Amino acid sequence: MILPRLFLFISLFSLALSNEQSNSHILPRPLILETTHLRELDNEVKLQCTSWRFAVEANNLNPWKQIPLECAEYVEDYMLGRGYKLDLERVSNEAGVYAKSVELSGDGKDVWVFDVDETLLSHLPYYADHGYGLEIFDPVEFDKWVGKALAPPLEPSLKLYNEIMGMGFQVFLLTGRSEKQRNVTEENLINAGFQNWDKLILRGSEDHEKLATVYKSDKRDEMVKEGYKIIGNSGDQWSDLLGSSMSNRSFKLPNPMYFIP
């Protein structure tokens, strides 16, 4: 039994060798099989990472600290490719459709709340140097970047922002940034094309220990107490949107890079 098998093996090997010599531009079969196998693995990783991203955006994965190592390339491709842009455009378009459908009271009390980071301003230039969420968040390094006031706008959000302004909403910016970063935040917003907001609310000393959900809920509670009606709210974190005094409609922007509780 061994001899015929050995003969078959030698024949196949010689055949492969002669084929390879005569058709050196054609890849030998085992390599083709390997490529197909790699492609299947690649598809499996893409499926797993798409599923992970869905769980992130739907807030089913809560909390999470870092993107999974095997999804590093997937998240980078998503953030730099058409997927992120399309998702941002869809959120802003739908928010705009809703905003237009609302009959405003005209008493100056109809509010649209916007978060700032990854909602109006993009930190992609920073995260490009920090693995798109693969690295553990470094607040010191991030604050250095924020201090430069160079974050570009998320274009679909800028478009929505201007539409919302034009409709007569009160525009309140509610950010987890510290009150100490007020000047640099204003400078960056103006550099990026955002103007004429009605309030810019930052974390005061009494807010620093609060989770974002609690801090933002407290601030919305204050708005409601002052007689404002929160018609819409745009944010890239569920902690921008959930809690007390929630808006009539919330619009969640995509962000698979980090999670803020």
Interface residue list for Mg ion (CB under 5 A): 115, 117-118, 236
* Beta partners for residue 186, in sequence order: none
Residue nearest Mg ion (C-beta atom): 117
R_g of the chain, CA atoms, integer Å:
26
Q: b/e string for 30-44 if b means 16 or more Cβ within 10 A?
A: eeeeeeeeeeeeeee
Handedness of CA 100, 109, 234, 193 (dihedral sign): positive
Write down the least CB distance from residue 241 to Mg ion, Å. 11
Residue ranges of alpha helices (H) inside 67-202 are 72-80, 82-101, 124-128, 139-147, 155-167, 182-191
Shortest Cβ 120–Mg ion spacing (Å): 9
Please, what is the minimum distance in Å from the beta carbon of residue 117 to Mg ion? 4
Instruction: Give 157 or 245: the residue with its C-beta nearer to Mg ion.
Output: 157
Nearer to Mg ion, 19 or 62 (CB): 62
Helix spans in 23-132 (H): 29-57, 72-80, 82-101, 124-128
Of 162, 152, 105, 108, the C-alpha closest to 128 is 152
Between 48 and 178, name the residue whose CB sits nearer to Mg ion.
Answer: 178
- Smallest distance from the beta carbon of 67 to Mg ion, in angstroms? 16
Smallest separation (angstroms) from Mg ion to the CB of 127: 13
Nearer to Mg ion, 122 or 170 (CB): 122
Beta carbon of residue 119, minimum distance to Mg ion (angstroms, whole number): 5
Q: How far is the CB of 234 from Mg ion (least distance, A)?
A: 10
199 and 81 in contact (C-beta within 8 Å)? no
Our CB check for Mg ion shows the closer of 96 and 176 to be: 176
- For Mg ion, give the closer residue by CB, 76 or 117: 117
Helical packing angle, 139-147 and 182-191, nearest 10°: 60
Tell me the one-letter amino acid at 89. Answer: E
Q: Which amino acid is at 24?
A: S
User: Which residues pair with residue 252 across a beta bridge?
Assistant: 235
Beta strand pairing call for 199-203 and 170-178? parallel
Of 175 and 245, CB closest to Mg ion:
175
